[in-house]
């Protein structure tokens, strides 16, 4: 690959210092991808396509087939946009990387999903701290082929734009909602735990851990509980929240969030691995296998 991503600055967030890139939309420089880039895509694609059957929800796997992504080349955004646009009116737009919240929410509210145009290096195959093309294209785009999930993400984006008026606490609470659904959500399908979250679907280790390990808690979806629950970005999740269907997500975003923010302001946050009396615990995690890095 010739061009390197252009970082704008690093901003301090509750997840530490994250690079925030120039916020403009960039054309996918498809002709600039090197053979190394395409090979990284192939290796990641084949690894995930081997690990997800029987672990990802039906809609996720079906969408990937419909979009006709293949291992041999990095897909072209323009080609995927035809299929995606016909299915739910969403479009992929190329970006440099992480965007400031308001830019990100505004894209979602307008049915645009920002996809990072560059793909990780071979030495980052197993982990990269920020969203690259593989995470976004392989993990985030297929769920957008489902009309209900697609409408949920529009409602989420609209809520995010509104939340700007409510200040940093509301933004953090919304970021948790995104984290525990869009990134790390599980679904109960035919009585089985199945993956729909992009952060899981694009990670080989967590695709297995999230649905098979006894260590994490698995708790039935509860909007306000999720919005109170803290998370770490650099380890497997200690708790997964489980929906029964995408409809549950869109129902949760129907009410006005102002009273929810007001209620949450009066309640303490919950550590990532915590379990409350009021939780509908589906599987109580054993918690083993984590460093005791405190109650994050
Ligand atoms: N920017 N490009 C990009 N992709 C994301 O997934 C993303 C983002 N900015 C903010 C963000 N996600 C999270 O803070 C969400 O919780 C909003
Ligand atoms: Fe993501």
User: CATH number of the domain that 180 lies in?
Assistant: 1.10.800.10
Ligand nearest to the CA of 98: 1
Give residue 296's pLDDT: 44
Structural domain contains residue 293: no
Given a cut of 70, the residues of the chain with pLDDT beneath it are 1-9, 15, 288-296
Q: How far is the CA of 139 from the centre of ligand 2 (A)?
A: 7
Taking the CA of residue 175 as reference, the ligand 1 atom at the shortest distance is 16
Residue 229 pairs in a beta bridge with 270
pLDDT digits (tens, 9 = 90+) for 11-55: 777 767 777 778 889 999 999 999 999 999 999 999 999 999 999
Give residue 293's pLDDT: 45
Structural domain contains residue 160: yes
- CB atoms near residue 6 (< 10 Å): 11
Give residue 292's pLDDT: 41
Pocket test for ligand 1, best of 18, 95, 101, 155 (most atoms within 8 A of CB): 101
Structural domain contains residue 289: no
Give residue 68's pLDDT: 93
* Exposure string for 204-214, b = 16+ CB within 10 A, e = fewer: bebbebbbebe
Q: How far is the CA of 131 from the centre of ligand 1 (A)?
A: 9
Structural domain contains residue 218: yes
- Domain residues for the domain of 68 are 11-284
Give residue 186's pLDDT: 98
How many residues can be counted in the chain?
296
Do 114 and 99 form a contact (C-beta atoms < 8 A)?
A: yes
Q: Which of 139, 138, 141, 134 is nearest to 119 (CA)?
A: 134
| Number of domain units in the chain | 1
Give residue 295's pLDDT: 43
Structural domain contains residue 290: no
pLDDT digits (tens, 9 = 90+) for 86-99: 999 999 999 999 99
Give residue 7's pLDDT: 61
Structural domain contains residue 91: yes
Give residue 5's pLDDT: 61
Structural domain contains residue 295: no
Structural domain contains residue 122: yes
């Amino acid at each position: 690959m010739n061009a390197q991503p252009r970082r704008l600055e690093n901003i301090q967030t509750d997840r530490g210092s994250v690079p925030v890139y120039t916020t403009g939309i960039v054309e996918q420089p498809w002709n600039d991808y090197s053979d190394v880039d395409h090979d990284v895509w192939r290796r990641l694609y084949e690894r995930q396509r081997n690990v997800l059957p029987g672990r990802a929800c039906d809609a996720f796997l079906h969408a990937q087939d419909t979009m006709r992504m293949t291992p041999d080349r990095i897909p072209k955004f323009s080609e995927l946009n035809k299929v995606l646009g016909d299915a739910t009116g969403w479009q992929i737009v190329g970006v440099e990387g992480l965007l400031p919240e308001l830019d990100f929410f505004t894209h979602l509210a307008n049915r645009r999903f920002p996809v990072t145009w560059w793909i990780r290096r071979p030495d980052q195959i197993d982990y990269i701290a920020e969203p690259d093309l593989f995470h976004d294209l392989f993990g985030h785009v297929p769920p957008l082929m489902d009309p209900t999930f697609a409408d949920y993400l529009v409602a989420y984006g609209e809520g995010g734009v509104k939340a700007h008026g409510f200040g940093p606490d509301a933004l953090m609470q919304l970021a948790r909602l995104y984290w525990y659904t869009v990134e790390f959500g599980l679904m109960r399908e035919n009585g089985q735990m199945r993956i729909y979250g992009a952060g899981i679907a694009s990670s080989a280790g967590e695709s297995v851990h999230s649905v098979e390990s006894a260590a994490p808690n698995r708790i039935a979806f509860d909007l306000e509980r999720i919005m109170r629950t803290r998370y770490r970005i650099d380890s497997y999740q200690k708790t997964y929240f489980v929906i029964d269907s995408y409809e549950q997500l869109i129902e949760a975003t129907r009410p006005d969030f102002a009273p929810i923010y007001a209620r949450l302001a009066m309640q303490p946050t919950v550590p990532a691995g915590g379990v409350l009396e009021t939780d509908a615990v589906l599987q109580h995690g054993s918690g083993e296998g984590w460093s005791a890095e405190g109650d994050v």
